[in-house]
Amino acid sequence: MNQVVDFINVNRDRYVDELKQYLEIPSISALPAHTADVRRAAEWTRDALQLVGMENVRLIDTPGNPVVYADWLNAPGKPTILFYGHYDVQPVDPVDLWTSPPFEATVRDGEIYARGAADDKGQVFMHIKAVEAHLKKNGSLPLNIKFFIEGEEEVGSVHLDDFVREHKQELAADVVVISDSPMFDRGIPSIC
C-alpha cells in the first residue's frame, strides 16, 4: 500500500492539472446550451477510465445524457465494487458571487475551487486515480471494480431507473459506493 500512496504523492501535481481540465468542462445538464459540453464531460470521463487501465470502457447513449461504464473484473473470487457518480453540474448563477470564474479551476489555500469540484467530478476523479495508482504499482486491483457514471443527476436522473433495469446484470455488484454524499465534518468523509 505504501507504493500506491507514494505513487499518488509523486503524481499529485499531474492529478491537480488533470482535475482542473475536467472541472473546466461546463457540463451543466439543466441548460440545453451545454448539451455538447455535457457529452464532452462524458467523453473525458470515458477517456480517463481507459487511460488508467479499466476494461470494457464505453459511453452508452440514453434518451438523455450518456452513461459511462467501465469495469476491471480480473480478481476471481473477490468482491465487486460498483462506483456510482455523475459528471454533470449545477448552473453557476449568480456568477457575481464566485470569487473566481466557476469553470476556471483555482487552487486557494490548498483547496480547489470550481463548479463540480465537490459535486461530483472531484469524487469521480479520486476513484479513477486510486485505480490508476493501484494498477501502476501492483499491476492489478485487490478486488473487482465497476464504474457507472451518469450525466443527469443534477436534473433528477430521469433515465436512471430504466438504465439500471436494462443493465441489471452488468451493474451487479457486492457493494455500491456512491461518490455523491455528505461528509460528517471537514476531514471526516463518509462512505455510503
- Residue 187: what are its φ and ψ, rounded to 5°? 85, 0
CATH number of the CATH domain containing 153: 3.40.630.10
Catalytic residue among 24, 88, 119, 120: 88
Residue 192 covered by a domain: no
**Domain encompassing residue 144:** 2-178
**pLDDT mean over 157-163:** 96
Model confidence at 177, pLDDT cuts 50, 70, 90, reads very high
Q: Residue 59 falls within a domain, yes or no?
A: yes
Count of structural domains, the chain: 1
DSSP result, 28-85 = BTT-GGGHHHHHHHHHHHHHHHHHHT-EEEEEE--SSS-EEEEEE---TTS-EEEEEE
- Residue 16 maps to a domain: yes
> Closest by alpha carbon to 169, among 192, 140, 150, 146?
146
Catalytic annotation present for 18:
no
Residue in 24, 71, 150, 153 annotated catalytic: 153
Cis amide bond preceding 94, omega within 30:
yes
Q: pLDDT tens, 6-32?
A: 999 999 999 999 999 999 999 999 999
**Strands 80-86 and 175-178, bridge-based pairing:** parallel
Domain presence at residue 186: no
Tell me, yes or no, if 162 is annotated catalytic: no
SS3 label, residue 179: coil
Binned at pLDDT 50, 70 and 90, residue 192 comes out as low
Q: Around 140, how many Cα atoms within 13 Å sit in the side-chain half-sphere?
A: 8
pLDDT at residue 133 tops 90: yes
In a domain, 183, yes or no: no
The share of the chain scoring above pLDDT 70, in percent, equals 97
64-97 pLDDT, tens digit each = 999 999 999 999 999 999 999 999 999 999 999 9
Helix (H, G, I), strand (E, B) or coil at 188: strand
